[in-house]
Structure 1
Amino acid sequence: MIVVTGASGQLGRFVVNGLLQKVPAAELAVVVRSPEKVADFAALGVQVRQGDYDQPETLVAAFKGADKLLLISANEIGRRFAQHSAAIAAAKQAGVGQLVYTSLLHADTSPLPLCAEHAQTETLIRASGIPFVILRNGWYTENYVAGVSSALQLGAVYGSAGEGRISSAACADYAAAAVAVLTQENHSGKVYELAGDESYSLAEFAAEIALHSGKNIVYQNLPEADFKAALVGAGMPEWLATLLSESDVGASKGGLFDDGHQLSQLIGRPTTSWKEQVNNAVNA
């Protein structure tokens, strides 16, 4: 039995759909706070179990029978370590055979503030005694592609990444890595640094938008506070604006770069081209 947490989210949905190509639906279970959000999976024969990181008493039953459990990291920054702690304790109590965790690229050395809760979680997983695999996911290309329409309107890509290089990959690529680990053996105890095959600076990203749109698009580097203020001014929630501005500064220090190609090796194909994703967004 393979159990997937966070299955109603973007990454989780990609993972479950990928697993359905590899294993019978009856051998899959998903753990979500709101079962109605995954009614489509239930209709396919996937077990749907209600579970909430903030209600630890729900998790032991939700994880029962899991030969492999994919713990997709929670998204409430500042509360994630407590939530992950509850999930790891429940996994141990439920007798989970292997715990697969989605962490952050170079979580032990990253300059991104995001890394702290991931590094704490990794330490706790190692101390739990549960066999584990750590998937240290890099940046989603979608994080930047989401701003293509704004760049076309404003004539610029704004950020705080300086000349830092970003080795992003598509969300679907990271999901494919999780599927590979969950359906194969010989991964136990391994830590994978997962990132795209290609890297780019935000100036190159802006130039790619210009190339496909025929418009003059430049990269405008801003101080972190100014970039955050611009994001909030555009209607973004403050927590997300903080995350993106801090992460851009981390990118300027090399925090989103990796050239080890472990992701493409794990999924058995090249990672999705960021240029292709930009082209698709421009022409959407």
Structure 2
Amino acid sequence: MSIVITATSGHLGRAAVEAVLDRGTDPAQVIAGARDLAKITDLAARGVRTAVIDYDDPTTVTAAVTPGDVFVLVSGTDLANRDRQHAEVIAAAAQAGAGRIIYTSGLKADDTALPIAAMHLPTENAVRESGTPFTILRNGWYSENYARDIPTVRETGVLLSSTGNGAVASASRRDLAEAIAVVATTEGHEGNTYELSGDTAWTYDELAVALAQVLGREVTHRNVSSDEHRAILIDAGVPEQFADMAVAVDAGLDAGAMGFRNGDLSRLIGRPTTPLAETLHTLV
């Protein structure tokens, strides 16, 4: 049996391979999949087997998966085509005889105010209907999501949002990758859906305090309405499509879509989740 992990040229997929190896798995029993193998030569150098896995070509999945393998489907980023891609990949993995499918979904995907989390439901349904034993990992908010905000905050001292008092229980990508590794390498997870979020929920006012600490300067959270937020972004040259997406995400956070906590993540990885400030320090 091998552990086949997709999208390993991306952040989460690569971190999942590293977490599986850190748990003592023989590299020869790990297959790292990517569309472009040139991007994962470092994994191959560690003894990990590599395979082309292209979500637009399900035959690459049947070529990579052998009967009994654990197949980790890291969610794709082609939102326009993702439902079709995932459904075809899942069918191919089932046809190849995968022993279990693990899918990285979105927190509270079936009960969320955040569209980007709810968008995972069609894939969850495809996994459940595949006839293959499965585990759903509903990933919450990544603390690393704030990497893109740090340059502006460092320059202006202002954290702009329309999140209101919404709480966010973020976790580090490493935490979530460890959860993948635990589920892929241990028994007893079949049929389970885990809601994975950080141990501590914080507001954007508290995020501003954490950013001030790591940046060594005063940081103010400027909370505005959704309409004002959108106007500010468009005036700054952000394309309307991305401005609308950013405002929709903040509206979901304001509604508490990423504040849910039940301890699943810390229980799976056997330790407290990584504090927000600790992750922010790695991003500056």
TM norm. shorter chain > 0.5 = yes
Q: Residues 197 and 263 of structure 2 are in contact (CA less than 8 Å); yes or no, is this contact kept in structure 1?
A: yes
Alignment-derived partner of residue 134 in structure 1 = 136
Post-superposition shift, 1:245? 2.8
Gaps of 5+ in 1: none
Q: Give the 5 Å matches for 1:83-232.
A: 83-228=85-230, 230-231=232-233
C-alpha separation between the residues in 2 aligned to 1:209 and 1:259?
Answer: 23
In structure 2, do the counterparts of structure 1 residues 238 and 265 end up closer, same or farther at CA, with 3 Å as the change threshold?
farther
C-alpha separation between the residues in 2 aligned to 1:10 and 1:232?
Answer: 29
Gaps of 5+ in 2: none
Q: Which amino acid aligns with 1:92?
A: A
Q: Which amino acid aligns with 2:40?
A: V
Q: Which amino acid aligns with 1:271?
A: T
Paired-residue identity, %: 39
> Cα deviation per residue 1:174-224 (whole Å; 9 max; x = unaligned)?
000000001100011100000001111111111222345453321112333
Q: Which amino acid aligns with 1:105?
A: L
C-alpha separation between the residues in 2 aligned to 1:199 and 1:232?
Answer: 30
> Cα deviation per residue 1:49-69 (whole Å; 9 max; x = unaligned)?
112111223221122345201
In structure 2, do the counterparts of structure 1 residues 174 and 58 end up closer, same or farther at CA, with 3 Å as the change threshold?
same
Structure 1 length-normalised TM: 0.92
Q: Which amino acid aligns with 1:190?
A: N
C-alpha separation between the residues in 2 aligned to 1:174 and 1:238?
Answer: 31
In structure 2, do the counterparts of structure 1 residues 26 and 75 end up closer, same or farther at CA, with 3 Å as the change threshold?
same
Structure 2 length-normalised TM: 0.92
Describe the SS at the equivalent of 2:129.
Answer: helix
Post-superposition shift, 1:148? 2.2
Q: Residues 133 and 191 of structure 2 are in contact (CA less than 8 Å); yes or no, is this contact kept in structure 1?
A: yes
Describe the SS at the equivalent of 1:52.
Answer: coil
C-alpha separation between the residues in 2 aligned to 1:28 and 1:280?
Answer: 28
Question: How many equivalent pairs are there?
Answer: 282
Post-superposition shift, 1:259? 2.1
2:56 corresponds to 1:58: no
Describe the SS at the equivalent of 2:222.
Answer: strand
Post-superposition shift, 1:242? 4.3
C-alpha separation between the residues in 1 aligned to 2:280 and 2:72?
Answer: 30
Alignment-derived partner of residue 5 in structure 2 = 4
> Cα deviation per residue 1:84-114 (whole Å; 9 max; x = unaligned)?
1111110111110000000000000011111
> Cα deviation per residue 1:146-165 (whole Å; 9 max; x = unaligned)?
31231121121011211100
C-alpha separation between the residues in 2 aligned to 1:236 and 1:130?
Answer: 43
C-alpha separation between the residues in 2 aligned to 1:197 and 1:268?
Answer: 12
The RMSD of aligned alpha carbons is 2.0
Post-superposition shift, 1:76? 1.5
C-alpha separation between the residues in 1 aligned to 2:203 and 2:20?
Answer: 33
In structure 2, do the counterparts of structure 1 residues 45 and 161 end up closer, same or farther at CA, with 3 Å as the change threshold?
same
Q: Which amino acid aligns with 1:6?
A: A
2:84 corresponds to 1:82: yes
Runs of 4 or more, structure 1, over 6 Å off, are 235-238
Post-superposition shift, 1:118? 0.5
Q: Residues 3 and 66 of structure 1 are in contact (CA less than 8 Å); yes or no, is this contact kept in structure 2?
A: no
Q: Which moved more, 1:57-66 or 1:99-108?
A: 57-66
